[in-house]
A and B are shown apart, each in its own frame.
Chain A
């Protein structure tokens, strides 16, 4: 039982266009926090791409890196936001 090629192409295409839009916002974003939002979304898109890669290549090791990746994305975003908040209140 395999996912049909059509589903694979559509899923990867949607994720790629989503990554492109998030990158455009990362380049454009008027303020620093806009870029932080785009970075957070980009990390989620990376998790989605890794999950799709694990499904299509049948390599289950990708799922381990999905765990680490989502954890690190949260730590990075939270630490940066906390730093910005401290800088704003000082």
Chain B
């Protein structure tokens, strides 16, 4: 049991650290956002799960499950809003970007209306 708790906590902290490393090192805003939203939510849920198994308290279990559920509910929404705002602010993409599908779809909408 203690091995499981240690592994869960260490994996969670490692993934949060990797998310921060990605935010620091990636070249462009959208790839930074990609690192920050996915790796951080997985790491946080692992960490909270490990602490739930460690503390073994009813209230902590309920609140931890709420925190995990809420993280998976809100972090994608927040990062989607940030990406949308930065797209409309015309943040420059990385120079190796291949395709921009939102631009073509926006142009198509403009032609229809």
Give A contacts to B, CB under 8 Å: 1, 3-4, 7, 10-11, 14-15, 17-19, 21-22, 24-25, 31-34, 36-38, 40-41, 44-45, 47-48, 51-52, 54-55, 58, 60, 63-64, 66-67, 70-71, 74, 77-78, 81-82, 84-85, 88-89
Contacts of B23 in A (CB 8 A): 21-22, 25, 37-38, 41
Most buried by A among B17, B44, B77: B17
Q: Is the interface of A mostly helix, strand, loop or mixed?
A: helix
Chain B contact residues, CB within 8 Å of chain A: 1-2, 5-6, 9-10, 12-14, 16-17, 19-21, 23-24, 29, 32-33, 36, 40-41, 43-44, 47-48, 51, 54-55, 57, 59-60, 63-64, 66-67, 70-71, 74-75, 77-79, 81-82, 84-86, 88-91
Instruction: Give the nearest-CB partner of A42 in chain B.
Output: B20
- Which of A33, A58, A67 is in CB contact (< 8 Å) with B29? A33
